[in-house]
Amino acid sequence: MQGPQLDAAQALARLREGNRRFVDHVVSLEALLSHARREDHARVQRPFAVILGCSDSRAPAEFVFDQGLGDLFVIRVAGNIAAPSQIGSVEFAVARFGIRLVVVLGHSNCGAIQATLEAVDHPHEVSPALHAIVDRIMPALGDIAHAHAHGDHDDDDALNRRAHDAMRANVRYTAARLRVDSTYLDRMCDEQGLSIVGADYDLSSGVVDFFHAAA
């Protein structure tokens, strides 16, 4: 295990700064120069944060946070869910690299969230493989899942609110599952300063809102 390069607060500040650059259409020189250090990165990596994000093509964490090669340990899966392989990947990164910040990154207009809401409305139209995603998101939604499920589907504002609320609920749920389903991560949070936070990336504005910390 490597010693932690940054504590959780420092790592979060670095992500916030990078996102501000991204929103302002600025790319840091450090991120650009990292491409020229491929050989160095091939020998060793020292990422300062774990990002458990969605596979959506519009939400690449390295761009969103303006970071270079070797800066982030990124795990991407549709719906940013916490299945065993994702939890194991987070554990690996925390243990191997001394990382003290894990970010669960959801985003607006998430297809996996939409697929889950559609499964609520039309439960017999979900493929068996897609259930592997949908069934892990469904418990996060609670009453949100049924809000407007059988109401006026022409009310775009209501449907958009439903999708947004569902996305954020899923981020909170995933962040909580990382602790509930991993005694290692739970202990690291209690004893070693690990922080697991949730975030919401707006595809239109580029802004990331860090809104939840797993208790």
Place of tokens 């069934």: 135
Domain-embedded: residue 70: yes
Q: 173 in a domain, yes or no?
A: yes
Is 145 part of any domain? Answer: yes
pTM of structure:
0.91
DSSP-derived secondary structure letter, 35: G
Q: Does residue 3 sit within a domain?
A: no
The strand pair at 72-76 and 49-53 is best described as parallel
Does 2 map to a domain? Answer: no
Residue 74 lies in a domain: yes
How many domains would you assign to the chain?
1
Query: Strand 195-201 relative to strand 208-213: parallel, antiparallel, unpaired?
Result: antiparallel
Q: Is there a domain that residue 150 lies in?
A: yes
Whether pLDDT at 127 is above 90 = no
Question: Tell me, what DSSP letter sits at residue 4?
Answer: P
Please compute the mean of the pLDDT values over residues 8-16 and round it to a whole number: 97
Please indicate, yes or no, if residue 1 is contained in any of the structural domains.
no
Q: What are phi and psi of 73, to 5 degrees?
A: -100, 105
202 vs 192: CA distance, rounded Å: 31
Residues 6 or more apart whose CB falls under 8 angstroms from that of 100 comprise 4, 6, 7, 8, 11, 94, 192, 193, 194, 195
What confidence tens digit (pLDDT) does each residue in 142-197 have? 888 777 555 455 578 888 999 999 999 999 999 999 999 999 999 999 999 999 99
Residues listed for the chain: 215
Of 140, 88, 91, 100, nearest in space to 117 by CA: 140
What's the domain range around 27?
Answer: 8-213
CATH number for the domain that contains residue 123: 3.40.1050.10
Residue 189, SS3? helix
Amino acid identity of 144?
I
2/110: higher pLDDT: 110
